[in-house]
Amino acid sequence: MSPPRIIVALDGMEINEALHTARILSGSVWGFKINDLLLEAGISIIPRLRRYGYIFCDTKLHDTPQTVINSVKKLARAGANVISVHASDKDDIKMLVAAVKNRQNSKIVGISNLTSNEKSSSKKLLQSAFNILVSQANGIVCSVSDVKILKKHHEYRHLVIITPGIRPLWWNSSESAGKTDDQKRIATPREAFKAGADFLVLGRPITRSENPLEAVERIKYEILKTQE
């Protein structure tokens, strides 16, 4: 099993700060997750960040199919590699189908249960996975505990799994974790790898580090230790 790739969340960053961080980490991570940055900079930030890695637009689209189509077309045209769409409700399949048909060269992933929620609903998770499977979307965004559930179902094992809420061991014990951590269902890189995640999303453990590049290497070391 190949080690999961790292996606760095550029949440809450100003434009220049995000570009600077991406420049520093270029080549050491798979790419970068953006959300609120799109609201400030617009989709023009996508090609600027693409110089340094792949881009996961975590837009969590949730609207009428036509509105989703409009958004996906523009994000894909701007160069987004991955675009997220809500997938947990039965009717969300219509949005997913619309997104898949208009994704161009982008990948579409479905959002299941947010990792900021205290509890995970296996019913919602499996509904999300079913919607993603039927719509022929590429993958799912879910917690490590949800990954373990999915892996028990053979029909969903081929889905690409993006896992947020990842906290290295050294981050959990550091003061910098603070009271601002809004993730509830968290896991270490080691746990995520063992569960079968393909991509790990990390923000603050890297972006708030005095040395982001060193933080990435420490995370990779945790993953490599898993393979010994």
- Structure-token match 């989703």, residue found: 68
81 SS3 class: coil
CB atoms within 10 A of CB 89: 13
Helices assigned H by DSSP within the chain: 15-25, 36-41, 45-49, 65-78, 92-101, 122-135, 144-150, 169-172, 189-195, 204-207, 212-226
Strand partners, 85: 61, 110
Q: How many CB atoms lie within 10 A of CB 100?
A: 18
* Residues designated catalytic: 60
CB atoms within 10 A of CB 72: 26
Q: What is the residue type of 8?
A: V
